[in-house]
Amino acid sequence: YGRMLRSPFTFLRGSAGLMAFDLAGIAVSSGSACSSGKVAVSHVLTALGAGREAAGSAIRVSLGWDAEEAEIERFVEVWIGLRGKAGRRRDVA
């Protein structure tokens, strides 16, 4: 079975998170598999109580049954790097 993580990345604005992960060679999604191509905030996340910012910045990360530890470590490495860059921009502004 595959595994999935869906988390708000509120330190990234709009589709910036999708583009940043894509540029790093990591495929992620901002919607569910059944809402492919839609740009609206997830109605499921808002129904679960997520605010618009959190729901709008959520990124879905899916792992296949054959995902390797190195792939997970690479995702975490990129995530930490993006988080650090976002914090530095805020500190400078």
Residues belonging to the active site:
34
Place of tokens 């901002």: 30
Question: For residue 57, what are the CA distances in angstroms to 3, 9, 42, 77, 86?
Answer: 20, 5, 10, 19, 14
